A and B are shown apart, each in its own frame.
Chain A
Amino acid sequence: MSTRPPISVRRPARPTDPAPSATMPIAHSPIPNIDPDAAEAVAFSMRGRLTAPEGDAAGRKSAAPEPPAAELPHPDEGLPYPTPTQTTRDGDPSQLPAKLTGEEPDSAVREHALAADWISVKLPPEVGRQLAAIADRRGSKRTLVAIEALSEPLRSLAAAHRAGAFPELPKVVSGTVRSSIAFALPPNLSADLDYVLRVRRAVRAQVVTRLLAPAIGALFDLEVAGRSK
């Protein structure tokens, strides 16, 4: 049994706020050696929300202050200085970077990216969830599933128009909350879509959304809901 320690006449010290210590710097990642133009990198980026195209913010900040000329690379170095008037309009493949670092684009993927027909649509949230579930179950990507889902109904619609019919499009009800998706349409489907739009005098996003939403629903029933029962 331990004995009581001798009585102390000094009060114990109170904890004090820790003195500010020298801050240890964080580790920096190296700059990754990636090709920002690779199709998958572009697809990853395009899952983000597109900002308003130029012209939507009419008259806003037409001239941001430019750095001193001495700070800028020489124009011959092939680096376009990104001023507000030189920003890239999203979704317009003709505005994708053609030559920024002086390197010639040499990959087939890049050629495809430049030639691709970019689609950006908003889907009802339930359809967005179904699309994500299909991609997740497959271990695939939303964009790839969307292209696959769109293929058959778009080809059928184009074929029907070529045969002289004018089919009704499925109704898609969407609230204010929507799930966005953007992807590059393969050239053959792009031709079909262009034909349909021309014949129907329709709006691209309307046609794509109204074909895509029910197709995703059907695919979801087949691959996810049907198999989870």
Chain B
Amino acid sequence: MILVCGGVKGGTGKTTTAVNIGVERARRGAKVLLVDADPDQESLTDYVANRDERGAQPGLNVVQVKGTTTSKTLLALAKEYSDIIVDCGGFDSVELRQAVLVCQVWIVPLNPTQMQVWTMPKLKELLDGANAYRGDAQLTAYLLGMRLSTNSLNRARADLETVAAEFEGFGVLSTVVHQRAAFERAEALGLAVTELDKPSESDRKARDAITRLHDELFGEAAAESGALANVD
């Protein structure tokens, strides 16, 4: 599956989502490739380099793509890997447009603050533009409640529903991910939150959120991998 984490605003949690989902897929035995489609920042590449330096297992593969070759490269790589997770930069880039032309799932991490919600018309334009070429393979963009305040679950979730209802073609993932220190700590260690030792109660909630997100995104594919028993 080709999964894109992308939006047109920075700092929304795209790379955090990509690495945590990527690690979880790899832990369950899938043949995963992370694709860094943000040549300006290369955060995903940095993360994997840090993970490699620290010797964390499973190791992750990452490649960088750039420009108008992105979609063709993704299609070719999809023949080699069971799951391709693409991390795009936080702006309307050539790479993001190329990725949504050929992907199967598009996740838009979003904390429904006013500034972030104001990016929706641009996202809608992108989605409609891509779907104009996709024929029968119409794409739905899924909003992921990300970095939400731990005190604002109900309202943020409702706000996401309101936003999605306003823009045709968008859905909302039922999983939400709250702002938790576990993500920063795991990131610094080259880990996913699902890999943290001696997890606190808050860490466990972060881990559960990523597990739920994984299951929501991959569902049957995860069950088919037969590796669920290896997950703590």
Among listed A86-94, A144-152, A206-214, interface-contacting one: A86-94
Cα distance A37–B92 in the bound complex, in angstroms: 19
Among listed B16-24, B195-203, B215-223, interface-contacting one: B215-223
Among listed A49-57, A121-129, A160-168, interface-contacting one: A49-57
Cα distance A97–B65 in the bound complex, in angstroms: 12
Known A-B contacts A44-B129, A51-B66, A82-B65; the reply to A34 vs B134 at CB < 8 A is yes
Cα distance A67–B132 in the bound complex, in angstroms: 35
Chain B, interface size category, equals: 35 or more
Q: How would residues 120 to 136 of chain B score, 1 for a CB under 8 Å from any chain A CB and 0 otherwise?
A: 00000000011011111
Cα distance A40–B80 in the bound complex, in angstroms: 28
- List 7 A-B pairs, Cβ < 8 Å: A28-B1, A32-B134, A36-B102, A84-B45, A87-B64, A87-B65, A101-B75
Q: How would residues 1 to 41 of chain A score, 1 for a CB under 8 Å from any chain B CB and 0 otherwise?
A: 00000000000000000001011111111111110111011
Assess the B91–A32 pair: CB atoms within 8 A.
no
Among listed A58-66, A170-178, A194-202, A219-227, interface-contacting one: A58-66
Residues of A with C-beta under 8 A to B63: 64, 67, 81-83
What is the CB-to-nearest-CB distance from B188 to chain A, in angstroms, rounded to a whole number?
18
What is the CB-to-nearest-CB distance from B83 to chain A, in angstroms, rounded to a whole number?
11
- Is A159 among interface residues, defined by CB-CB distance under 8 A? no
- Identify the A interface with B (CB < 8 A): 20, 22-34, 36-38, 40-42, 44-52, 57, 60-61, 64-65, 67-68, 71, 73, 79, 81-84, 87-90, 95-97, 100-101
What is the CB-to-nearest-CB distance from B208 to chain A, in angstroms, rounded to a whole number?
8
Cα distance A57–B42 in the bound complex, in angstroms: 11
Known A-B contacts A32-B134, A41-B101, A100-B73; the reply to A48 vs B216 at CB < 8 A is no
Assess the B105–A29 pair: CB atoms within 8 A.
yes
Cα distance A44–B130 in the bound complex, in angstroms: 8
Partner of A26, one of B91, B98, B219: B219
Assess the B173–A26 pair: CB atoms within 8 A.
yes
Assess the B137–A51 pair: CB atoms within 8 A.
no
Partner of A51, one of B33, B89, B132, B133: B89
